[in-house]
Amino acid sequence: MSEREVIRQRARLYLEHEVDDEDRAELTALVDRDDDDAATELASRFSGRLPFGTAGIRGLVGAGESRMNRAVVIQVTYGVIRYLLDRVPDAAVRGIAVARDARHRSESLQKEVAAVAAGLGVSVHWLEGPTPTPVLAFAVEHIGTACGVVITASHNPPAYNGYKVYWENGAQIIPPIDAGIADAIDTAPWPDEIERAPESSLIQTVSGIDDAYRSAASSVRAYVSRASTLKIAYSALHGVGQKTFIELMEQNGFSHLYPVASQAVPDPEFPTVSFPNPEEPGALDLVLAHAKANDCSLILVNDPDADRLGVAARGADGDFTVLNGNEIGVLLAHHVLTTTRVKKPLVLASVVSSRMLSVMAAALGARYEDTLTGFKWIANEAMRLEFEEGCHFVFGYEEALGYTIGTVVRDKDGLSAALVMAELASTLESRGETIQDQLRYLSERFGVFTTRSKSVTLDGPSGAARIDAAMAALRSQSVTSIGGEAVETFADLALEERMSSNVLLYDLRGGGRVAVRPSGTEPKIKFYLEVVGPDARSRLQAMEDDIVGRALS
């Protein structure tokens, strides 16, 4: 039997257990066609179950085992709940918190999560309506649930959706929990054989969680709330953040808010942006024009599920500068570290973030640690160090616009980070200073750290093979310098026992660093470069040319 017919047979078997009429019709139409395009599409949809990793699953919306749909979510939830019941005391009584964003199918997928959990006898704390991901993470600890699930694809393009899992500590899951859940998913029955109870009394809507979140998030401010004259332009990028953002900011004295009306309402098509990620070129075009038209000093932008924060600031010349993730990170970190009252403050950053934070922490008497990429590592490592060393976590960040202040949310939180950035900008403005002035001060005090990132997209099965080959090529080379910068130490984090990941680190003489890794959510290989000192642009270009060439030549 040809591979083409094997896939067709697999699709026919899958169709016997399909639970969604529209997905059944979509797959049936493909199975009934005997042409190359249909065969290629079926092969894509039946290339294996979406892998459970990066705290959950993420993929294209559509019918088939390799897509995000009701059938897949039913089986994934079965695995999550079975593992939960085996590992967490009183899990059925404590229950799970369930939320969603506003993407295609998010509401129906949230309902399936609740129905499967209730069918297995587990209480469900239902968060009604489109909800920012940080609010779900907050709800897990606030309510005391055994875990939390949010249906979201964060900042991915419109065709995607996802499923993210938080454990009882309010943080995204890490090994061995993820592997245990993956094993439980592999033993799940067919979706139509899994009991679901969509009308169960075990499913109860949570009330007051938004108010509780805003009250807790307000506590991360350094100063007592007071009226501010700072004019802030804002965009939710068609996501779910605007309502909570506006209420949180106004609650804390920031009333001069200018949201972009055309991007305010959740819209799964994201019609005004090609890629709803504040980092992407063009994503801030509308809010930049809006800020200039309304004479704003600060621009704050959340991604569609509001766990990331983009920032742009007006300088003394009246022009706006879009800050990169590391600039935002060190600004927030310095503000927190110089205003905190806790003893033994703890700050963390991912290994691909700027090394300035480690220098800053040493100078300001804070404990510093770096972690693997992904906020699940920052949050869980912070809790470990708090427990083992008696530190008090005050700040963590990763350069991909992820920040958290304090312990209100054990994950990145673009809403409370926006509040603290507004506080910093307002404080500076009251002194006649700008964000750019503050960045210059930080460079003068801690050193000139300049970063650059480079992503190379390699689509399809051949792309995945090329990414694997690139990582293997780098591992096989003894690299003593990159672009003329001497390499002092090399680390292959895939060999680490406690925190293992497919990341290569080259620490450079003088304090810089190069990191290389495949993306966990996109078909990309990513290069992160940093130098300390003068002539940064030419040095970074030489480093980029060298390391990318070594990997992909």
> Any idea which of 289-293, 420-424, 491-495 has the lowest mean pLDDT?
491-495
Tokens describing residue 364: 């300001």
pLDDT of residue 500: 82
DSSP 193: G
Answer whether 330's CB lies under 8 Å from 360's CB. Answer: yes
Tokens describing residue 510: 């003088």
In DSSP terms, 461 is beta-bridged to none
Mean pLDDT along residues 166-174: 97
CA distances from 487 to 46, 373, 482, 533 (A): 44, 21, 7, 16
Answer whether 117's CB lies under 8 Å from 92's CB. Answer: no
Radius of gyration of the chain from its Cα atoms, rounded to whole angstroms: 24
Map 337-405 to HEC letters. Answer: HCCCCCCCEEEEEECCCCCHHHHHHHHHCCEEEEECCCHHHHHHHHHHHHHHHCCEEEEEEECCCEEEE
- pLDDT of 243 over the 80 cut: yes
Is residue 404 helix, strand or coil?
strand
Tokens describing residue 255: 């009333």
pLDDT of residue 496: 84
415 closest CA partner among 278, 253, 256, 302: 302
In the numeric block, the tokens 């024009």 are attached to 289
Task: Assess whether 218 carries a catalytic annotation.
Answer: no
Mean pLDDT along residues 44-65: 91
The average confidence (pLDDT) of the chain is 95
CA distances from 56 to 50, 66, 148, 477 (A): 9, 14, 11, 34
pLDDT of residue 523: 83
> Any idea which of 234-238, 392-396, 475-479 has the lowest mean pLDDT?
475-479
- pLDDT of 55 over the 80 cut: no
Please pick, among 66, 154, 426, 453, the residue that the annotation labels catalytic: 154
CA distances from 195 to 78, 149, 390 (A): 9, 19, 45
Measured distance CA(429)–CA(425) in Å, rounded: 6
Domains along the sequence of the chain with CATH = 48-207 (3.40.120.10), 214-446 (3.40.120.10), 449-552 (3.30.310.50)
508 closest CA partner among 545, 542, 476, 483: 483
- pLDDT of 134 over the 90 cut: yes
> Any idea which of 51-55, 118-122, 413-417, 492-496 has the lowest mean pLDDT?
51-55
Alpha carbon 27 to chain centroid distance? 31
Q: How many residues does the chain have?
A: 553
458, burial (CB in 10 Å: exposed 0-12, middle 13-18, buried 19+): middle
Is residue 138 helix, strand or coil?
helix
Tokens describing residue 347: 């700050």
Mean pLDDT along residues 31-37: 91
